Structure 1
Amino acid sequence: MTGHFIISLDYEIHWGVFDKRSVEEYRENLENVGNVINRLLEMSDKYGVKLTFSTVGFLFATDKNELLKYAPKNKPSYDVKKHSPYPLLETIGDNEEEDPFHYGLSGVKKIVANGNHEIGTHTFCHYYCHIPGQTVEQFDDDINSAVNIAKSKGIEIKSLVFPRNMIDVHESSDQPLLNVLKKHGITSFRGKENSFIYNIHTTKFYKNWLVLKFLKFLDAYVSVTGPNTYNVVKINKDNEVINLPSSRLLRAYSDKFKMLEPFKLKRIKRAMTHAAKQNEMFHLWWHPHNFGAQTDENFNTLEEIFKTYKSLNETYGFQSETMTGLTRKIKAAR
């Protein structure tokens, strides 16, 4: 099997940051998500790149009544209540026209109408699988809601991205989560990078966490952990639900670190080239709202990445795929 280029986008608008930032604190980024989606679709069409939009289930709702209709009765019982988005439902608007920060059906429809991309799920309520207090049964009900609200719009959900990447496939305690995905017909998910600085439990305390945080930052610009590309057939030899691990978070443009931008781009291009030459997968991800500020600068970087993909496609047969598209190929190959 040839090398593959995967892009997954955590499509969430305010639901992705509701427990960290208010709408007012993050307004510029959130207001521009619609424009970012339009430009993503336009640029991906230009370069023949396929995207997987892992979408929070709340965004599928036409209005608040429909959102509440599909909401599970068995909601996450987090020990720290601020992590639950459900109390916020009392304060949001009734529909997307009133409140474009908490509804997103128009964006979903544009993606579907394009015909080249995939709508996956980011759970129904931006569910945190590692926050103490929640249960596997509650996660099951959440995924059931996510699948059903998408189905009501004619969309079949086959792939998933765990919010805040709260999945550790090497821990037996997380295996029931994958059983839930299988139960609901989900065939793939985005796992973490293999390197130890990424592949640690999301909510456990590490005394050297500042060092790990710095290493993650440094790894975006210089090769601390290597290319993080994968022989996906080999790593999924026995997996029923396919793991498509992350290779790189595309960090948003920052004036503060402007001098480092060329290093960030070079790091990504080198890893993509490695994947193309070795017939492996390179999996890039970010959030549309990351591009909501300094949008032109972010898209300039993305276009350079897409140009690199086009060149690798022509030279090595490097292929762009959705998560589900590649999953089908992996299962056929093995």
Structure 2
Amino acid sequence: MNAVVLSLDAELAWGYHDFEEVPEHVESARTSWSRLLALFDEFNVPATWAVVGHLFLDSCDGTHAGHPTSTGDWFDRDPGGVAAQHPLWFGDGLVDSIVDADANHEIGCHTFSHVEFGDEETDREVAVAEARTGLEVADDAGHTLESFVFPRNNIGHRDVLAAYGFTCYRGERPELWYDGSRFDSLGKLIDLTVSKTNPPLVDPEVDEYGLVNIPASMFLFGYEGRVRTVTERLWDDPLVRSAKRGIDRAADAEDGIFHLWMHPNNFTEERDFERLRTILEHLAARRDEARLQVRTMGDVAGEIRGVDPATTRTPIGPR
């Protein structure tokens, strides 16, 4: 399969609700979300939008009694109320805008309240509640979810995902030569600017639970601020260069997937949107001239499993 997959962690304020402070840039997250949808429409590029389940709600009491974490402080920052009063804590039309877009996007699951499944404090009861509640609120809003993205890429409790009918998840990026070394920053710069083998293409595989692991190839951000500004003055944007290389490798290889991921929250400056526009423009050109496909995570999982996931998964799962 020669394909490019784009996935987004769509979380608004929920991505930071367990931080000491919710960053100021989240205030523009709703606008960023809408602008990204417009960009994807412009180039007819579908993506998997992994949505935090709470964003499917129109209102809540802020406590979520019955959730295993409701007796602690997990929901302390949840303001409750209705979407019109607290737009960064509810979707308020944003999820529907994914469905209404011209590009054929997929809506996936990013848990109900952005719990890290791989955290040692996240026991199976919490994972079950997060998976089940995420599916329930999506189902109530008319959406069926099959793809799963772990908050902060902290993977755990995959058996729970299988039990609740998910078909795939975004797995860890393949290990690179500089990971964990004292040359991490230098290695990243080398790979972004001159390497011919990075970012890696990935080969999705079915894990021991029957889930399709679709590993990430590259995060669209993480090389920002002053370092980015200085680098752009000397060369072009290194992230753009790297993403184009990943797209070209997927187009020219015998087989392989380039999986690019991001958050709507990452887009805080005009140059961030220009970064993505340049990449999508290149992707559209390579798609039109080669055998390259643009697929959602659910598409990839369906092809690998050889089944139509909509006919096999249970919308809510076992109790």
Q: 1:331 aligns with which of 302, 305, 314?
A: 305
TM-score computed with the length of structure 2 as normaliser: 0.84
User: Compared with structure 1, are the counterparts of its residues 229 and 76 closer, same or farther at alpha carbon in structure 2 (3 Å cutoff)?
Assistant: farther
Spell out, residue by residue over 1:186-234, the C-alpha distance to the aligned partner (whole angstroms, 9 max, x if none). 10100011115798xxxxxxxx6765466456644553973310233xx
Normalising to structure 1: TM-score of the pair?
A: 0.81
Matched, 1:85 2:65: no
Equivalent in the alignment of 1:9: 8
Cα distance in 2, alignment partners of residues 245 and 184 from structure 1: 21
After superposition, the Cα gap between the structure-2 partners of 1:55 and 1:237, relative to the gap in structure 1 and judged at 3 Å, is closer
1:111 is aligned, of 80, 95, 98, to 98
Distance 1:152 1:216, change over 3 A: farther
Tell me the distance in 1 between the aligned counterparts of 2:165 and 2:95: 20
Provide the C-alpha distance between the structure 1 equivalents of 2:266 and 2:248, rounded to a whole number of angstroms.
Answer: 25
Aligned-partner Cα distance in 2 for 1:72–1:284: 36
Query: Which has the higher mean CA deviation after the structures are superposed, 35-44 or 141-150?
Result: 35-44
3-state secondary structure, aligned to 2:93: helix
Aligned partner of 2:312 in structure 1 is: none
Please tell me whether the aligned partners of residues 76 and 139 of structure 1 are also in contact (alpha carbons under 8 angstroms): no
| Preserved CA contact (<8 Å) 1:48 1:320 | no
Q: Sequence identity of aligned pairs in percent?
A: 28
CA–CA separation in structure 2 for the residues paired with 1:88 and 1:184: 28
- Aligned residues of 2:109 and 2:134 also touching (Cα < 8 A): yes
**Mapping for residues 281-296 of structure 1, pairs under 5 Å:** 281-291=257-267, 293-294=268-269, 296=270
- List aligned pairs for 1:50-199, cutoff 5 A: 50-65=46-61, 72-75=66-69, 85-89=74-78, 92-114=79-101, 116-167=104-155, 174=156, 177-195=157-175
Task: Specify the SS of the correspondent of 1:244.
Answer: strand
Please give the per-residue CA displacement for 1:280-325, whole angstroms capped at 9, x wherever unaligned.
111111110110x21x211111111111111211222211111111
Q: Which has the higher helix share?
A: 1
1: CA distance, partners of 2:53 / 2:178: 26
Distance 1:256 1:153 in 2: 43
1:224–1:280 Cα change, 3 Å: closer
CA RMSD of aligned residues (A): 2.7
Given that 1:15 and 1:85 are in contact with CA atoms closer than 8 Å, whether structure 2 keeps it comes out as: no
Following superposition, the deviation at residue 20 of structure 1 comes to 2.8
Distance of aligned partners of 1:63 and 1:55 in 2 relative to their CA distance in 1, 3 Å threshold: same
Secondary structure at 2:83's aligned position in 1?
coil
SS of 1:8's partner is: strand
The 8 Å contact of residues 75 and 142 in structure 1, kept in 2 or not, is answered as no
Which residues of 2 match residues 235-314 of structure 1 at below 5 A?
235-236=205-206, 240-251=210-221, 254-261=225-232, 262=236, 263-278=238-253, 279-291=255-267, 293-294=268-269, 296-314=270-288
Matched residue pairs, number? Answer: 300
Q: Which runs of 5+ in 2 are unaligned?
A: 308-319
1:197–1:216 CA contact under 8 A, matched in 2: no
> Residue type of the partner of 1:150?
A
